[in-house]
Structure 1
Amino acid sequence: MTYLQKSPWIVHYNASSCNGCDIEILAALTPLFDVERFGIVNTGNPKHADILLCTGSVNEQNKVPLKNVYDQIPEPKVVVAIGICAATGGIFRECYNVSGGIDKIIPVDVWVPGCAARPESIIDGVVKALGILEQKRAKMLEKSGSENIKAGEAV
């Protein structure tokens, strides 16, 4: 795991799951698993978040809200799809109103398998997301630095 200068904040979105994965996310926050030891803070506001944890399959009613939550998270951001429903639609994929997994609406960076995903797997996925977040942050800083140089040359 790389060193982050800022504690990453996560926001959780339930896209229409059976709540099995949601319970496991909460279990990962308990003292038994203690995901906060990595400096992770759970927030309810997407505008403060760095990582979006999604559970459940995408249906017709939550396409727009999911996209809205994703758009509110500032760059750089990482999306973690937790559970088989978030990956493919799971047991609900044949339902008339289910479009499939989270990746049908927003880009996904990390996939956490399972039904329901175990807290250990969720923590592993979040740690992988931290590495991706750091890479995205470095690319963003590199890009903004080169843009500043170009802007300085133009002046």
Structure 2
Amino acid sequence: MSLKPFSRARAVHLMLVYTGGCNGCDIEIVNCVLSPKFDIEQYKVFLTWNPREADVLVVTGPVTKLNEKPLKEIYESIPNPKAVIAAGSCALMGGVYKNIHGDIPSEEIMGPVENIIPVDAKVPGCAVRPEDILSGVVATLPKLLEAD
């Protein structure tokens, strides 16, 4: 077994990317790490801010025009195999930030995350629940562990 699958079988690194919205989902995701109730680090799931260390990209908020290009660049910077979790109503369908007629894209909201980069797991909610975030991470594990 090579080093990467060996390491991934023992730890997963999440990178959180905010692409617009209210930050409610970001607070709940960080709550998973900092709160003694959820403490995902006990399951060897760690938060990182470096795309080169990340295994899973967790995206919150609707993708705004300003954040579309940086999101693609971050996604490309994550080594393969990688997984993407769209977390929250805004990331899944634009949430309250859709334009008045409900159709995306609008002038400033480029769309849900899956219109910009591939999504492997969807976590609904406004804001997302920490338990659901953990379920989303677990849903991405087969993709991460099948490589090499």
TM-score range for the pair, normalised by the shorter chain length:
0.7 to 0.9
- Deviation for aligned residue 1:100: 1.3
Q: Residue 64 of structure 2 is aligned with which of 43, 59, 71? A: 59
Specify the alignment match of 1:111 in structure 2: 122
Contact 2:93 2:112 in 1 (8 A): yes
Matched pairs, number: 135
Specify the alignment match of 1:34 in structure 2: 39
Instruction: Name the SS of the counterpart of 1:16 in structure 2.
Output: coil
Measured in 2, the distance between the counterparts of 1:34 and 1:80 equals 19
- Deviation for aligned residue 1:70: 0.3
Instruction: Name the SS of the counterpart of 2:17 in structure 1.
Output: strand
**CA displacement 1:97-134 (0-9 Å, x = unmatched):** 11211111100000000010111111111111123322
Worse-matched range after superposition: 116-125 or 33-42: 33-42
State, as a whole percentage, how many aligned pairs show the same letter.
42
Contact 2:120 2:140 in 1 (8 A): yes
Q: What is the CA RMSD across the aligned residues, in angstroms?
A: 1.4
Contact 1:93 1:99 in 2 (8 A): no
- Deviation for aligned residue 1:93: 1.4
- Deviation for aligned residue 1:86: 0.5
Gaps of 5+ in 2: 1-5, 100-105
Q: Which amino acid aligns with 1:73?
A: I
After the TM superposition, which parts of structure 1 deviate over 2 Å for at least 4 consecutive aligned residues? 3-6
Structure with more helix by fraction: 1
Instruction: Map 1:132-151 to 2 at 5 A.
Output: 132-135=143-146, 137=147, 141=148
Q: Residue 23 of structure 2 is aligned with which of 19, 40, 45? A: 19
Please give the TM-score of this superposition, normalised by the length of structure 2: 0.86
1:50 aligns with 2:55: yes
Measured in 2, the distance between the counterparts of 1:35 and 1:129 equals 15
Q: Which amino acid aligns with 1:38?
A: Y
Q: Which amino acid aligns with 1:48?
A: E
Measured in 1, the distance between the counterparts of 2:125 and 2:134 equals 13
Measured in 2, the distance between the counterparts of 1:118 and 1:6 equals 24
Instruction: Name the SS of the counterpart of 2:52 in structure 1.
Output: helix
- Deviation for aligned residue 1:20: 0.4
Measured in 2, the distance between the counterparts of 1:125 and 1:17 equals 20
Contact 2:85 2:121 in 1 (8 A): yes
Max Rg structure: 1
Q: Residue 87 of structure 1 is aligned with which of 86, 92, 103? A: 92
Specify the alignment match of 1:150 in structure 2: none
Please give the TM-score of this superposition, normalised by the length of structure 1: 0.82
